[in-house]
Chains A and B, each alone.
Chain A
Amino acid sequence: MALLKRLSRHELPLVPFTLNGEACSGRAGDTVLTAILTQSDRLRLSDFSGDPRAGFCQMGACQDCWVLTSDGGRVRACSTALKPEMSLRTITEPRS
């Protein structure tokens, strides 16, 4: 279930991407964080306790919104623009 609620920007072009293998779409001008959290309520599990996290500061400071890309990369969701055909994975395994 979505965490963020869109109040505007409803008419911007759709941007297709996949989240954990499922086809989704965001809107032009979305960050990766917005694109994911308008359909899901988490971005990752925390490193140690495995608790769900969904970002915090949205300005590139807290480092709580890193998500995986299917090519093995990591992106900081709040400061990465959504691009068409991005393949994103929410982090599902704690570090230890």
Chain B
Amino acid sequence: MSDAIRPLIVGAGPAGIRAAQTLVNAGVRPVVIDEAPSSGGQIYRQRLVPDERSAKDLYGSEAAKAIALHETFAQIRDRIDYLPGTLVWNLHDKAVDAVTGQRTRRIAFSHLILATGATDRVLPVPGWTLPGVFTLGGSQIALKSQGCAIGDKVVFLGSGPLLYVVAWQYVKAGANVAAVLDTAPFSAKFHLLRGLFAQPSVVLRGFRYAAELMAHGVAVRFGVQPARIDGTTRVEGIVWRERGKEHRLACDAVGYGFSLRSETQLADLAGCRFTFDTRDRAWRPERDGAGRTSVSGVYIAGDGAGIAGADAAELAGERAGLALLDDAGLPADHARIGVLERKLASIQHFRDILESAFPFPEAWATSIADDVTLCRCEEIAVGDARAAARDQGISELNRLKALTRVGMGRCQGRMCASAAVEVLASTCGRSPDAVGRLRAQPPVKPIPLEVAAEGEAA
């Protein structure tokens, strides 16, 4: 066992687990900190207690991968220092502050692998704060972890592969899905034919999901422009435009999202340099093909490093683990590195195709009405942000936050920043990369006011 280094891994999803396994196999004992009570991340999330459903029921086509990942974690469990239910809320001077329940402690590290994952990228739609509206990821968690549908008659809306995956999982579980409203035009889906060469099984599965949804009587619509979600105290229906015509459907729940956005706050606190990813319309930490950031000893892997999905996360986690070993002067399998990098490059190529098939709704920023809530924590309207940009000459996101409180609430911009960027950029006639990005502030998520500090634990 090597005592020379003490790596810390944040996140126990596919990237974090494969990174930990790689270090353990080399005789290194990492600390693994994860917010969730059990490992697996969001995609391979485990239930709080077992129930009658099988792995196949929960994870569908990805059941074998989920089982393999959970088994790997069980095997390395005794050879890592694992802190579940723990939030890393601050990071400086080669140590993190981590809170478990009411107790916070400082944990020093020699190397850091950030595998913090992603959340849904959401854009406000009139009515998006009504009870019964959830993100696509949230809708999936309700089903997978809790065995619940988000309502009796559900509509799914937005863009991205998750739209069809979640709708299909709902139908399979016996939920009533009334419609799938895809904001991308049908013509965008022809890009998937290119994807057939890159990742045939993934593309064919997507086609099968769409076909089975239609066979189950689910209305699948393309080129949808969401108009509003109706309701006074909860969802009562959804209204959209399609080829110039308005449509309304009664429903009591809406799950929606527009692909994903990376959780990058800790990389920011670590001092990593960021770069703008034009494909994902978002800033992400700069990294090399191995996951090395601009800060020596800090690595990043999985969707927190840029959206690429669970398969890429497993590969990137392992790749980052090998880079860490290499940098620490420990033996790393260079043949394996070559294999991982080839596989990752192939997935990146496929992600470009997926982005064309599920494009970002660029018209959103100019068409969204002034009175729609932009920041759901502080309840700031789209018009307030536009007014600040127009009347006070604001053209930078942190200035907008200081002036309007957009992004200043409890979620710290996780739910509104993607939209705020688009509104600000469109109002001042700039591109999204030219309005900057929200600076991360500790604590990166709310922590109990009464946390008790402990001494240094190394």
A residues near B (Cβ < 8 Å) are 3-9, 11-12, 28-31, 34, 37-38, 41-42, 46-49, 51-64, 66, 76, 78-79, 81
Question: A47–B375 Cα gap in the complex (Å)?
Answer: 12
SS class of chain B's interface: helix, strand, loop or mixed?
A: loop
Given contacts A48-B378, A58-B135, A61-B119, 8 further A-B contacts (CB under 8 A): A7-B149, A29-B48, A52-B234, A54-B131, A57-B120, A61-B263, A64-B376, A64-B377
A56 contacts which of B133, B145, B146 (Cβ < 8 Å)? B133
* Most chain B beta carbons < 10 A, residue from A9, A28, A42: A9
A29-B48, A42-B233 given; A3·B143 CB < 8 A: no
SS class of chain A's interface: helix, strand, loop or mixed?
A: loop
Question: Would you call A57 and B52 a contact (CB within 8 A)?
Answer: no
Chain B residues with Cβ below 8 Å from A30 are: 48, 146
Q: Does B53 contact A (CB under 8 A)?
A: yes
* Most chain A beta carbons < 10 A, residue from B135, B253, B378, B445: B135
Give the 6 A-B residue pairs with the shortest CB-CB distance, closest first: A54-B131, A58-B138, A63-B410, A29-B49, A8-B147, A9-B147
Q: Does B150 contact A (CB under 8 A)?
A: yes
Question: Would you call A4 and B410 a contact (CB within 8 A)?
Answer: no
A5 contacts which of B52, B141, B175 (Cβ < 8 Å)? B175
A sample of 28 cross-chain residue pairs with beta-carbon separation below 8 angstroms, ordered by A number, consists of: A4-B146, A4-B149, A5-B150, A7-B143, A8-B51, A8-B57, A9-B51, A28-B48, A29-B49, A29-B51, A29-B146, A31-B48, A34-B146, A37-B148, A47-B377, A47-B379, A51-B129, A52-B130, A52-B233, A55-B134, A55-B138, A56-B376, A57-B135, A57-B414, A58-B138, A58-B142, A63-B446, A64-B376
Question: A92–B234 Cα gap in the complex (Å)?
Answer: 16
A3-B151, A7-B147, A46-B379 given; A59·B138 CB < 8 A: yes
Closest chain B CB from A12 CB (angstroms): 6
Q: Which residue of chain A has the shortest Cβ distance to B149 in the bound complex?
A: A5
Q: Does B60 contact A (CB under 8 A)?
A: no
Chain B residues with Cβ below 8 Å from A42 are: 131, 233-234
Question: Would you call B445 and A7 a contact (CB within 8 A)?
Answer: no
Question: A4–B148 Cα gap in the complex (Å)?
Answer: 6
Question: Would you call A5 and B234 a contact (CB within 8 A)?
Answer: no
Question: Would you call A56 and B142 a contact (CB within 8 A)?
Answer: no
Q: Does B429 contact A (CB under 8 A)?
A: no
B residues near A (Cβ < 8 Å) are 35-37, 42, 47-49, 51-53, 57, 119-120, 129-135, 137-139, 141-143, 145-152, 173-175, 233-234, 252-253, 263, 376-379, 409-411, 414-415, 445-446
A57 contacts which of B47, B137, B175, B379 (Cβ < 8 Å)? B137
A46-B379, A47-B379, A57-B134 given; A4·B142 CB < 8 A: yes
A9-B51, A29-B47, A58-B137 given; A3·B445 CB < 8 A: no
Question: A45–B241 Cα gap in the complex (Å)?
Answer: 31
A29-B49, A49-B379, A58-B135 given; A3·B253 CB < 8 A: yes
Question: A58–B144 Cα gap in the complex (Å)?
Answer: 12
Chain A residues with Cβ below 8 Å from B129 are: 46, 51, 53, 56
Question: Would you call B173 and A62 a contact (CB within 8 A)?
Answer: no
Chain A residues with Cβ below 8 Å from B151 are: 3-5
Question: A81–B37 Cα gap in the complex (Å)?
Answer: 9
Closest chain B CB from A24 CB (angstroms): 16
Question: Would you call B150 and A4 a contact (CB within 8 A)?
Answer: yes
Q: Which residue of chain B has the shortest Cβ distance to A29 in the bound complex?
A: B49
Question: A12–B48 Cα gap in the complex (Å)?
Answer: 12
A28-B49, A30-B146 given; A59·B379 CB < 8 A: no
Closest chain A CB from B145 CB (angstroms): 8
Question: A34–B143 Cα gap in the complex (Å)?
Answer: 11
B379 contacts which of A12, A48, A55 (Cβ < 8 Å)? A48
A81 contacts which of B48, B173, B378 (Cβ < 8 Å)? B48
Chain B residues with Cβ below 8 Å from A57 are: 119-120, 134-135, 137-138, 414-415
Q: Which residue of chain B has the shortest Cβ distance to A42 in the bound complex?
A: B131
Question: Would you call A62 and B415 a contact (CB within 8 A)?
Answer: yes
Question: A42–B433 Cα gap in the complex (Å)?
Answer: 37
Chain A residues with Cβ below 8 Å from B139 are: 58
